[in-house]
Amino acid sequence: MKKRGLLLFFLFLMQQVWAQREPAPFAVVGFTLMNADTEIAIVQLRSGDVINLALLPTRQLNLRASFRPNTLPLAIGSVVFAFNDSLHTENYPPYAWWGDLEGNYLGWTPKPGSYTVTATPYSGANGTGSEGESATIHFTVIDQPLQLPSAVYRLNAGGTDYIDPQGVIFNADNYVFLSQTIRPLARARQPRDHLAAVGAVRIRHRH
C-alpha cells in the first residue's frame, strides 16, 4: 500500500508539472464498452448504437474513454464525464465512467433508455489545467431476449417421397436406397413448399 501511495503521489506531482507546460494535443476519440467481470473490452461504441443487455456476456458493464493514438499518459490529468444529467471525474487510468478499484472496473448496469455521454480530458487533476478535445456519443439501451421461431425440420436420410398427415408432400432426397445400392436421382428434389415443410420430422436410415 505504501508503494502504491508513493506511486500515486509521484504521478500527481508529474501531472501538476505537466499542466504548467505548453499543452500537448490530446483528445478523447471514442468509448469502449467494458466487461466489468473480466476487464475485457466488449465493443467500441459508435453514436447511434443500440445495446441489448439480453445479448451481452454480462450485465456488469463500464464505459472507458479512448484517446488519440500515441497520447502520452502524463498528458492527461483527468477526464470529466457528462452522462445525461450526471457528472463524474476520473483522475487516474483507465478513465472509466463508472470508476474502478485499483484498475478493476466497477460494474454498472444501465436501465433501458436513451443516453448521451461526453468525455473531456484535462491536463490537470479534477478537471483543471488545459482542456483537450472532447467526444460525444448517443446510444440506446434495450433489454430484449432474442426470440427464435420454434421449428422442426424434416430430415430424410435416403427416404422416398413422404406425405405428412396434413397432406404436405416431401419429395425424396438426392439419393434413395434401392436394394443394396444407392441410385442418384435425375435431379435434386426439394419439398414443394419449403415453408410448409417446417414442422414435420421424418428420419430414415438404413445400415
pLDDT at residue 16 greater than cutoff 80: no
Report which of 127, 112, 113 is spatially closest to residue 79, judged by C-alpha positions. Answer: 127
In whole angstroms, what separates CA 152 from the centre of its chain? Answer: 31
Query: What is the bridge-based pairing of β-strands 135-142 and 50-52?
Result: parallel
Task: Give the count of beta carbons closer than 10 Å to the beta carbon of residue 132.
Answer: 24
pLDDT band at residue 182, thresholds of 50, 70 and 90?
very low
What span, in angstroms and rounded, lies between the C-alpha atoms of 51 and 48? 10
Judge whether residue 94 has pLDDT over 90.
yes
Q: What is the mean pLDDT of residues 10-25?
A: 58
pLDDT at position 71, please?
A: 79
Bridge partners for 97 per DSSP: none
User: In angstroms, rounded to a whole number, what is the distance separating the alpha carbons of residues 28 and 10?
Assistant: 24
**One-letter identity of residue 77:** G
What is the reported pLDDT for 10?
A: 65
Give the pLDDT band of residue 51 (cuts 50, 70, 90): very high
Task: Give the model confidence (pLDDT) of 22-47 as tens digits.
Answer: 545 689 999 999 999 999 999 999 99
* Exposure letters 93-103 (e unless 16+ CB within 10 A, then b): ebbbbbbbeee
The pLDDT score that the predictor gives to residue 192 is 44
Nearest-angstrom CA–CA distance, 98 and 127: 17
Pairwise CA distance, residues 145 & 64, whole Å: 26
Looking at per-residue pLDDT, the higher value among 25 and 75 belongs to 75
